Amino acid sequence: MENGFLKFSTNPKKLYGLILIIGVVLSIGLGISAYRESKLPGSNELSKNQAGEGTYEQKLIAILGNKRIPLKVTVEERTFTQLEAEEELKKAMSSLDDVLKATNEDLTAILNPICFADAIPGTAVEVTWTERAEDYFYSDGSFREELEITEPIEVKVAAILSCQKYSKDYEAVMTLLPRAVSDEKRLLEIIQKNAIEEQTEDVIHLPEEYKGNAIIWRKPIDITFLYVFALAIAAVVFLKIGGQKDARDQKRELLASYEKDYAQIVSKFTMLLSAGLSVRNAWERIVLLNRGKPEGKRPIMFEMSQSYREMQKGVSELEIYEQFGTRVGQIHYKKLMALFISNKKRGSVNLLEAMNQEMLQAWEEQKRSAKQQGEKIGTRLLLPMMGMLTVVFIMILVPAFLSFKT
């Protein structure tokens, strides 16, 4: 089933046909739905939003005989009755104290900033503040920076709560608890005072003591060196990880190249051994025939050429075959070298038969590998195909949703 889907998904004509069919079906369904939605109720009415939900615009078409008149109507929200407005205002009045105190425990113990809200959550009531205790608070409810409170102070705030055309006054008295000025602010005030007194001098004198303690002044240490050190460490780690990854990738590519060439190498050895050549002579013939050709630059031919040079230097065949299998590190070549070593030690008369079997297995393995590679490529194509399908769906569905919205 998976292979069937894979073949279908990698066939552009079938995929485009599927997209077209889905698009047509969706378009017809959305068109029918849009036509039904375009009809007004039997009494030709437009629904209003509930009070507090705001107005909205509705596009309409007035059909007069053969004439179509496009219109854009603003539908106002439903207006509260006086009783409903009074209920909203009452609800807002009961919750405004909690909104105003914000994170403070109570209005009689204000230590943290308060909240001058413009609206009361859960209601259709708007708030206009007429008194904000500007000597103590900014417009957002935070304390003024220069504020210092040494004893509890009572302050009043006032606001007008509005619900459409109805309104109600609100007042609250808060108790501000003592607030100590931070050492940072005190020291800054001293330095600013010295700066004003020493405007004509070349330097500003910093205070030598504070609250009876001597002050040692220092400039902040430039920690750029730490950033440079951290960057150097990160670069080393990155390069090391990248180098390891590159080495793994190169090793993987090298083994893949060995495996790809294996069937041809076995076939050449089998053909030359069938012609009566020894393994050593067949090895020499393969190396010399491929020298100077593109095939001679393949990684496996490089390894065979290195082994051939060792043969020329007098290194024993057994040692060369064993070292070749170890250097290449690929299981098929190790098996082939084992056949050569066995033949060299025991003079096996079944070498040619074993080589023929190995050649058949190698070609079957190469066919299987090529098929798997093709399936992998098909799987990689799934992502862009699905991306194309998603884009088409968006192109179809977005206009439909926009038509519903309007």
H/E segment holding residue 392: helix 351-405
Per-residue pLDDT tens for 190-245?
A: 888 888 888 888 888 888 888 788 888 888 888 888 888 888 888 888 878 877 87
Nearest of 129, 140, 199, 204 to residue 162 by alpha carbon: 129
Calculate mean pLDDT across residues 316-321: 89
Region at 316 (left for phi over 0; alpha for psi -120 to 50; beta for the rest): beta
Predicted pLDDT at 6: 46
141-150 b/e (C-beta count within 10 Å ≥ 16 → b): bebeeeeebe
Average pLDDT, the chain: 81
40-64 b/e (C-beta count within 10 Å ≥ 16 → b): eeeeeeeeeeebbeeeeeeeeeeee
Q: Would you say the pTM of this structure is higher than 0.85?
A: no
CA distance readout (Å), 172 to 90, 101, 236: 15, 10, 64
Cα(330)–Cα(199) distance, rounded to whole angstroms? Answer: 83
Domain-wise residue ranges, the chain? 82-176, 250-381
Predicted pLDDT at 45: 77
H/E segment holding residue 127: strand 126-131
DSSP-derived 3-state class of residue 332: helix
Nearest of 277, 251, 256, 249 to residue 351 by alpha carbon: 277
